[in-house]
Amino acid sequence: MDRLIHTVGNALTNLRDTQIISAQNLANQSVPGYRRDMSGEGSTVFAMQLDGLGVRAFQQPAESYSFSEDSGFLDQTGEPLDIAIADKGYFYVKPEEGPPALTRRGDLRVDLRGRLLNGAGEEVLDAQQAPIVVPPFTDIVVNEIGELSIQPPDAPPGERVLVATLGTYVPDGTQVLRKGEDGQIRLENGQVPPSNQLAEVRQGVLERSNVNTTDELINAIDLQRGFELNMKMVSEAKRLDEAAGSLVKLPEG
């Protein structure tokens, strides 16, 4: 009985964690470039009993979670500061807190200090992982290899100045990317790989999140059913425990 109740309790904990991930995906379905979180399988541990391994095994969640690398829908916006990566790859950003990270988010803007930021307020980095500062301009162009050039206000029409090259990285399959506790994408060691500038950048295009709302809602229904089934198991364990207790109960009188 002890084994049953602890097994069900562990299953309920895992269901709770999966529900949190599903809710996180639904909450970020409208965030440009958001990568859908996936449940981490974690690892299995065995309970200790009398200085030895017991027969009860429990699943512990992973410290970092995997995510879907499927591309989201590419929306033609025509805005010069909306950019997207055509297929595989990532941009480099520097969050307000923490080390540099990788992202697919491309809704950019230039603040009053000339810093190039994305919609989350993260600094966009160049190929050397340095923040990009954009001088005043009347027009801005980003080409396919990520070169950012502007037309200064006092320049003749058609004259452009190269400001920076957006840092991009396309995974080669030898390194595993994970999401950390802050939701940022990095290598498993918490660092980012050096840029290889292999991504194809498109201007005037914005990638939507790769969250499928229908799939997430169906998954939420399945999780709710799993929760109800496990709660029934708790009630059944209680009934069996009470029945076993009545068998060993001393007769009265």
Q: Which candidate, 56, 44, 48, places its Cα nearest to that of 7?
A: 56
pLDDT attached to residue 175: 87
Q: Which residue has the higher pLDDT, 176 or 56?
A: 176
Q: What percentage of residues in the chain have a pLDDT greater than 70? A: 78
**pLDDT greater than 70 at residue 80:** yes
Question: What's the pLDDT score for residue 249?
Answer: 64
Q: How confident is the model at residue 22 (pLDDT cuts 50, 70, 90)?
A: confident
Q: Provide the pLDDT for residue 50.
A: 46
Report residue 236's pLDDT band, with 50, 70 and 90 as the boundaries: confident
Range 111-124 average pLDDT: 96
pLDDT interval class at 36 (50, 70, 90):
very high
* Reported pTM: 0.77
pLDDT(115) > 80: yes
In this model, does residue 51 exceed pLDDT 90? Answer: no
Rounded average pLDDT over 127-150: 96
The average pLDDT across 170-174 equals 90
Whether the per-residue pLDDT at 185 is higher than 90: the answer is yes
Mean pLDDT across the stretch 51-80? 74
Mean pLDDT of the chain: 84
Please check the confidence at residue 63 and state whether its pLDDT lies above 70: no
179-202 average pLDDT score: 94
Give the residue ranges of DSSP H helices in the chain. Answer: 2-27, 213-247
More confident residue, 6 or 208: 208
Under the banding of pLDDT at 50, 70 and 90, the label for residue 5 is low
Higher pLDDT: 167 or 222? It is: 167
